[in-house]
Structure 1
């Protein structure tokens, strides 16, 4: 089935429609460039058209920015001929800020700070009088001037969800028919996650909760998609209603490990007695995905991301034509300053391969969760080796002599059968392909240690290339769904 509609680490989706075009953004955390922007005509097939935050003046993350910090929960809206993007930066005192653009593919403006607006998960909504309301997790609300960041009056507390439910967050405010609807996530972003909604006569309420709350939750079910929540509503040109939301696909035995992070899912919405009713996840024939990058363009495609920053000084396609060149800065994948360029792992089974020339340094192909949880195959100094970092433990799993340009590969294979309740979700295998065509599997590692349930945090796996010492060149990168 084609769900998730945007697989891999694409959480906290927010969507808006302009005419027959839909646009969607997601959280990006410690990765740069920040906030991926997608376009679709049918809500099922999405294409990344850019990233909203592409300049240090928009997004400043340093080596002190922890993994799973950075950019949280954007809301995307279109109003008065302009796109508005409001988001929270939880690093370096960034707080809440607004960006604007006339074209969602960019460029986006520098930030408009909202220094008086506390909290996370900000939302924007305009009423018929032109007032702009910013609602944040908690749930509280401010009247703001989105062009200047000025606030008016004190924040007002609103409906905060089911009594006793933790973490009321991800508020979105809508005018639909005669009512204002306030939709929130609650229960925490783990297995208890859900979506609830209330309605009232004005943006400020008072709000009455839907008697069928939560309107979406997979808690305490055997559904293959879990942790469903943090949703947004959108109406199609034909009057139909839809919900995008995050969820995870845990695998293996108990407690279940999800490795791709939180992904974006889609479900239809109907209305009964003035309340939204969420239908089953959309399904459609699935197609095999593949992507190959020869690094022929002067700029990297928008799917490529790096921890915290990416400068042309350390990462460029201009030093050697048709190659991606990385100049080392950090020493290993343990280092927050490592030069790493990757793409989100988007499929439960996949294979990634790259041709590396390590003649002037060392580097390789890595599966990254964070600085303390990653596996990689590294070439340099006449040797190729597989390295595993899990929490405080770091070890060279396997090594063998190898020289000259060679192909490194990583294969992720989803576990189809459980050996017992402790079975992991997948196996990650590392191979080297030498110039004479010889393929050697150096190691096969348990994938559970690169999962949210082990590593913690809010992110998922990213597969990519890195430089550990000196200068390393990569001729191409290939990613294939399946194993």
Structure 2
């Protein structure tokens, strides 16, 4: 028996772009891009495609990934997740690093193998296992309007190419034909890819052929786009992945953006879900400027798949802080607090490029997170000490209790909102000319602005950053309960990629720095509280 079920997009909010999804029996698994953040490639699990629980990261060891020299929005680009004969495969690109590679695991939560390199392609590689035992890599190649899709056969044990790459698609005349996925279904090989860049002209194209190398015919119009709906609240739709559920219904997971006033989004590119219908002549269809992809979606689901969220927030510890990050909870649609009383860090936390385990501790002061800053600040291209979680709501607040008594000029620690080196906000205690001050600062287009400073006498202070669609408020309290002082305001667009570039969204978190020298003073954080206010 079927029932109507309503769900809310995005199904994975915040900076979780380039979704790749598979079904294994009654379970669904999802991987997303991570760019310069470590650990790399978050992995999620679901039983209904709507409610997602993170179960780990695929890249957790230096032998898999060394991004210490990567710039922001470099690192790990769009992955493709696949499953074949009891093995999970995850193929991706380390941009400006080792290039295209894949890793394998017996379980989606890992452990995952070290990289197996492949020889051809630029970005966005995908794997396809054909019924005759052949394995194909489909990948983007070329640049801009010359961007196209290539395909070749590999030995899945070694990554060695068994054929020369063949061009199988050149897009529809737009820029950046990329993000390819090859499927075999309904008597055809179907090839999906993105086109138009990741902005407002973004779209998903579909091709089909009776042979894996084509020739491919292109569907006359995009499968998915809002590129002619400038006033629609959901924009930049594309990079779509197809998946069939256990009842034979087809779906697509794709990235999209929720711009504020049609201008910017600090949340970045998020993961959305929509049903796929098939035309009479055998083409998959989602939304070609019809506006049917909405925040509130109503779909037909069986009783088995319409029971709501199947998961509670239960921590799943996997390893020590120095090796990986533990795994908990769902898609981030709730308020959340970390009291730092576990032996491992919660899976939500991410570092810039590398962990710096010697400067991060949960044991130096049990029940607190201890950070000891290096010489780099958030405006430096080198790895600074920042630990953040993805901002997943336009209206929210983050609060922490900080104990920090710097003795050396330049030492600083506090709370921050980070997009990249060009755009971020900080609120922290800093030693300046022998005096401790609470400093609110903004970096916009690389230029530093001190928004406000007040003297600090004690070692303990409560810090809070509150956000709405248009601005952030930077606040502090001397006791954390009775009175909060607003020290500064900053425009939200400062931490949006539309303003300051890149492919990511904002992270909110904690930082420490020596501003030119390694800090000798530890900063102790008692908790981190993320609270929805919308």
TM-score range, shorter chain: over 0.9
Q: Look up the match of 1:386.
A: 440
Residue 410 (structure 1) aligned with residue 465 (structure 2): yes
Give the secondary structure class of the aligned counterpart of 1:313. helix
For 1:349 and 1:5, the matched residues in 2 are separated by 17
Q: Look up the match of 1:368.
A: 418
- Contact kept? 1:358, 1:380, Cα under 8 Å: no
Give the secondary structure class of the aligned counterpart of 2:8. coil
For 2:133 and 2:364, the matched residues in 1 are separated by 51
Give the secondary structure class of the aligned counterpart of 2:498. helix
Please state how far the C-alpha of 1:251 moved relative to its aligned partner: 0.7
- Contact kept? 2:12, 2:272, Cα under 8 Å: yes
Q: Look up the match of 2:293.
A: 281
For 1:341 and 1:190, the matched residues in 2 are separated by 28
Within a 5 Å distance, the mapping from 1:317-396 to structure 2 comes to 317-335=362-380, 336-360=382-406, 362-381=412-431, 382-396=436-450
- TM-score, normalised on structure 2? 0.85
Within a 5 Å distance, the mapping from 1:257-296 to structure 2 comes to 257-272=264-279, 273-278=281-286, 280-281=292-293, 283=296, 289-296=334-341
Q: In the TM superposition, what whole-angstrom CA distance separates every residue of 1:290-317 from its partner, at most 9, and x where no partner exists?
A: 0101111221111110110003201121
Within a 5 Å distance, the mapping from 1:203-214 to structure 2 comes to 203-211=212-220, 213-214=221-222
For 2:77 and 2:61, the matched residues in 1 are separated by 17
Q: In the TM superposition, what whole-angstrom CA distance separates every residue of 1:432-477 from its partner, at most 9, and x where no partner exists?
A: 0112733100011111121111111111101000112332111110
For 1:345 and 1:389, the matched residues in 2 are separated by 18
For 1:288 and 1:21, the matched residues in 2 are separated by 21
Q: Look up the match of 1:56.
A: 62
For 1:275 and 1:331, the matched residues in 2 are separated by 52
Give the secondary structure class of the aligned counterpart of 1:73. coil
For 1:288 and 1:68, the matched residues in 2 are separated by 25
Q: In the TM superposition, what whole-angstrom CA distance separates every residue of 1:125-152 from its partner, at most 9, and x where no partner exists?
A: 0111100000001200010112201001
Within a 5 Å distance, the mapping from 1:295-334 to structure 2 comes to 295-334=340-379
For 1:288 and 1:214, the matched residues in 2 are separated by 31
Please state how far the C-alpha of 1:159 moved relative to its aligned partner: 2.0
- Contact kept? 1:345, 1:461, Cα under 8 Å: yes
For 1:148 and 1:51, the matched residues in 2 are separated by 23
Q: In the TM superposition, what whole-angstrom CA distance separates every residue of 1:39-89 from its partner, at most 9, and x where no partner exists?
A: 111111111111110111111011x31100000100000111010000011
Gaps in structure 1 of 5+ consecutive residues = 415-425
Q: Look up the match of 2:76.
A: 71
Give the secondary structure class of the aligned counterpart of 1:408. strand
Q: How many residues align?
A: 465
For 2:333 and 2:76, the matched residues in 1 are separated by 31
Distance 1:309 1:451, change over 3 A: same
Give the secondary structure class of the aligned counterpart of 1:449. helix
Q: Look up the match of 1:129.
A: 132
- TM-score, normalised on structure 1? 0.93
Q: In the TM superposition, what whole-angstrom CA distance separates every residue of 1:167-196 from its partner, at most 9, and x where no partner exists?
A: 110000001121110011011111100001
Q: Look up the match of 1:217.
A: 225
Give the secondary structure class of the aligned counterpart of 1:251. coil
- Contact kept? 1:268, 1:281, Cα under 8 Å: no
Give the secondary structure class of the aligned counterpart of 2:358. coil
Gaps in structure 2 of 5+ consecutive residues = 1-6, 141-147, 299-307, 309-331
Give the secondary structure class of the aligned counterpart of 1:448. helix
Residue 7 (structure 1) aligned with residue 23 (structure 2): no
Q: In the TM superposition, what whole-angstrom CA distance separates every residue of 1:215-244 from its partner, at most 9, and x where no partner exists?
A: 110012021110000010000001111000
- Contact kept? 1:61, 1:91, Cα under 8 Å: no
Q: Look up the match of 1:102.
A: 106
Please state how far the C-alpha of 1:289 moved relative to its aligned partner: 1.6
Kindly report the root-mean-square deviation, in angstroms, between the aligned alpha carbons of the 2 structures: 1.7
For 1:117 and 1:347, the matched residues in 2 are separated by 39
Give the secondary structure class of the aligned counterpart of 1:453. helix
Match of 1:200 among 209, 233, 237: 209
Q: Look up the match of 1:148.
A: 158
- Contact kept? 1:83, 1:101, Cα under 8 Å: yes
Please state how far the C-alpha of 1:362 moved relative to its aligned partner: 2.6
Match of 1:444 among 483, 489, 506: 489
- Contact kept? 1:98, 1:146, Cα under 8 Å: no
For 2:123 and 2:14, the matched residues in 1 are separated by 23
Please state how far the C-alpha of 1:288 moved relative to its aligned partner: 6.1
Tell me which moved more, 277-286 or 146-155. 277-286
